[in-house]
Structure 1
Amino acid sequence: MSEQKSGANKMWGGRFTTAPAEIMKKINPSIGFDYRLYRQDIAASKVHARMLARQGIIGEADNEAIQAGLDQILKEIEESRFTFSVDLEDIHMNVEARLKEIVGEPAGRLHTARSRNDQAVTDVRLWMRDAIDGLDAVVQELQRALIERAGEHVETLMPGFTHMQVAQPVTFGHHLMAYVEMFGRDRQRLAGARERTNICPLGAAALAGTAFPIDRHFTAEQLGFSAPTENSMDSVASRDHIVELLFCCSMLAVHLSRIAEEITLWCSDGFRFIALSDAFTTGSSIMPQKRNPDAAELVRGKTGRVVGSLNALLMTVKGLPMTFMKDMQEDKEPMFDALETVQLCVEATTGMIRDLTVRPDQMRSFLERGFPTATDLADWLVREGGIPFRDAHHITAKVVARAEAKGCTLSALDIESMRDVDPRITEKVYSVLAPEHSVNSRRSYGGTSPEVVREAIARANARWL
Structure 2
Amino acid sequence: MARTTPRRRGGASAGAARPRLGAHDGRLAGRLAPEMVASRFAPLLERHRPAFGAVIQYNLAHVVMLAEREIVAPTVAGKLLRALRGLGARGHTGLRLDPELEDVYPNVEAAVIRELGEDVGGWLLTREAALDLAHDLLAYGRALLDLADRHRETWMPTYTFLQVAQPSTFGHYLLGYVEVLKHDSQRLEAAYQRLNQSPAEIGICTGTGFPVDRYRVAELLGFAGVLENTLYALNSGDLDIELAAVLALIATHLSRLADDFYVWCSREFGFLELADEYCGTSFIMPQKKNPYVLDHPKWAAISSLSDLNQALNSYRTTPAQSPNDVFFIATTVYERIADVRAALRLLAGALTTLQVKREVMAARAAAGFTQASELADTLVRRGGLSFRSAHRCVGALVREAIESGRRAGGSECKWEAVRCACRRRTFGRPSTSDGSWSVAGCSGGRPANR
TM-score by length of 1: 0.83
Q: Which residue of 2 aligns with 1:98?
A: 111
Q: What one-letter code is carried by the residue in structure 2 that aligns with 1:266?
A: W
* Distance across 1 between alignment mates of 2:305 and 2:403: 47
Q: 1:159 to 1:378 in 2, by over 3 A?
A: same
Q: Which residue of 2 aligns with 1:165?
A: 163
Residues 41-50 or 80-89, more deviating: 80-89
Cα deviation for residue 16 of structure 1 reads 2.2
- Report which structure shows greater RCO (CA 8 Å, sep ≥6): 1
Cα deviation for residue 398 of structure 1 reads 2.9
Residue pair 2:282, 2:289 contacting (<8 A) in 1 also: yes
Structure 1 segments unaligned to the other structure (5+ residues): 1-5, 110-123, 438-465
Q: Is residue 2:443 matched to residue 1:431? A: no
Matches within 5 A, 1:281-430: 281-406=279-404, 407-409=406-408, 412=411, 413-420=413-420, 421-422=422-423, 423=437, 424=439, 429=446
Cα deviation for residue 343 of structure 1 reads 1.0
* Distance across 1 between alignment mates of 2:152 and 2:25: 70
Secondary structure class of the residue paired with 1:353? helix
* Distance across 2 between alignment mates of 1:191 and 1:38: 25
Matches within 5 A, 1:150-229: 150-229=148-227
Name which of 10, 28, 46 aligns with 2:20. 10
Secondary structure class of the residue paired with 2:157? strand
Name which of 85, 108, 132 aligns with 1:71. 85
Deviation string, structure 1 residues 60-85 (Cα, Å, up to 9, x no partner): 2222221111111111227x432211
Cα deviation for residue 323 of structure 1 reads 1.3
Q: 1:427 to 1:337 in 2, by over 3 A?
A: farther
Q: Is residue 2:280 matched to residue 1:266? A: no
Residues 250-259 or 395-404, more deviating: 395-404
Deviation string, structure 1 residues 426-459 (Cα, Å, up to 9, x no partner): 7654523xxxx3xxxxxxxxxxxxxxxxxxxxxx
* Distance across 2 between alignment mates of 1:388 and 1:248: 45
Aligned residues: 412
* Distance across 2 between alignment mates of 1:62 and 1:430: 88
* Distance across 2 between alignment mates of 1:13 and 1:178: 57
Q: What one-letter code is carried by the residue in structure 1 that aligns with 2:448?
A: S
* Distance across 2 between alignment mates of 1:427 and 1:360: 36
Residues 289-298 or 137-146, more deviating: 289-298
* Distance across 2 between alignment mates of 1:95 and 1:251: 36
Secondary structure class of the residue paired with 1:15? coil
Give aligned-pair identity as a percent: 30
* Distance across 2 between alignment mates of 1:399 and 1:429: 17
Q: What one-letter code is carried by the residue in structure 1 that aligns with 2:84?
A: L
The structure with the largest alpha-carbon Rg is 2
Cα deviation for residue 14 of structure 1 reads 3.0
Residue pair 1:34, 1:332 contacting (<8 A) in 2 also: no
Q: 1:308 to 1:390 in 2, by over 3 A?
A: same
Q: What one-letter code is carried by the residue in structure 1 that aligns with 2:35?
A: I
Q: Is residue 2:68 matched to residue 1:54? A: yes
Q: 1:105 to 1:28 in 2, by over 3 A?
A: closer
Q: 1:416 to 1:35 in 2, by over 3 A?
A: closer
* Distance across 2 between alignment mates of 1:86 and 1:281: 40
* Distance across 2 between alignment mates of 1:250 and 1:84: 32
* Distance across 1 between alignment mates of 2:443 and 2:259: 42
Deviation string, structure 1 residues 174-206 (Cα, Å, up to 9, x no partner): 111111111222121111111110111112211
TM-score by length of 2: 0.85
Q: 1:426 to 1:172 in 2, by over 3 A?
A: farther
Secondary structure class of the residue paired with 1:170? strand
Cα deviation for residue 297 of structure 1 reads 2.8
Q: What one-letter code is carried by the residue in structure 1 that aligns with 2:244?
A: L
CA RMSD of aligned residues (A): 2.2
